[in-house]
Amino acid sequence: MGTVAGQIVADRITGAENPHAGLFSPHRVSVSSAPTLLQQNAQVAKDLIGDRLLPAEGTRADDLAADSARVLPDGAGKKGVYRDRAGGVHAVSLRCTHLGCLLRFNGAERSWDCSCHGSRFDVDGAVLEGPAARPLPRRDL
Ligand code: FES
């Protein structure tokens, strides 16, 4: 999207028409798009609250199979534990560092993903994709 944004901005500066400008206009939200906007924000709110109500998937990680993950309690919150193929265990807070949604494990990518705005973190908490900019805090087992 950065390339398209750059083209739109350049066209705005030079006064040229850009066929994609309307798609990115901050004024593109209309009454007709309100239901979709509300539906998407309701889903974010549901994920933000609903995931916190889900029980942890256990209390221990010693029986965790290789190349799998589990959600464990972490005080009042939750932590995600992943056991790699060599048997190493990686534990991180599951509270997204963007706005606090709870992360879910993505087994295909071996990452902790946020359903609220799309941030992704590796099993040690490093940011793979934003909008989050800070890594996840590591946790002890
Ligand atoms: Fe996770 Fe926004 S709360 S990306």
- For every one of its 141 residues, what pLDDT tens digit does the chain have, with 9 covering 90 and above? 889 999 999 999 999 999 998 888 877 777 777 888 888 788 777 777 776 777 777 778 788 999 999 999 888 889 999 999 999 999 999 999 999 999 999 999 999 999 888 999 999 999 999 999 999 999 988
pLDDT at res. 13: 95
User: pTM of the prediction?
Assistant: 0.70
User: Would you state the pLDDT for residue 89?
Assistant: 95
- The answer, yes or no, to whether any atom of ligand 1 lies below 6 A from the CB of 101, is yes
pLDDT (0 to 100) of residue 35: 84
Task: Write down the pLDDT at residue 49.
Answer: 74
The ligand 1 atom at the shortest distance from the C-alpha of residue 115 is 1
pLDDT in the model for residue 40: 79
Best probe residue, ligand 1, of 46, 52, 98 (max atoms within 8 Å of C-beta): 98
Does residue 132's CB lie within 6 angstroms of at least one atom of ligand 1? Answer: yes
Tokens of 83: 């056991």
Instruction: Tell which atom from ligand 1 comes closest to the C-alpha of 100.
Output: 3
Q: Is the CB of 114 under 6 A from ligand 1?
A: yes
What separation in Å is there between the alpha carbon of 137 and the centre of ligand 1?
A: 15
3-state SS, one letter per residue, for 35-82: HHHHHHHHHHHHHHHHHHHCCCCCCCCCCCCCCEEEEEEECCEEEEEE
Nearest CA to ligand 1 atom 3: 99
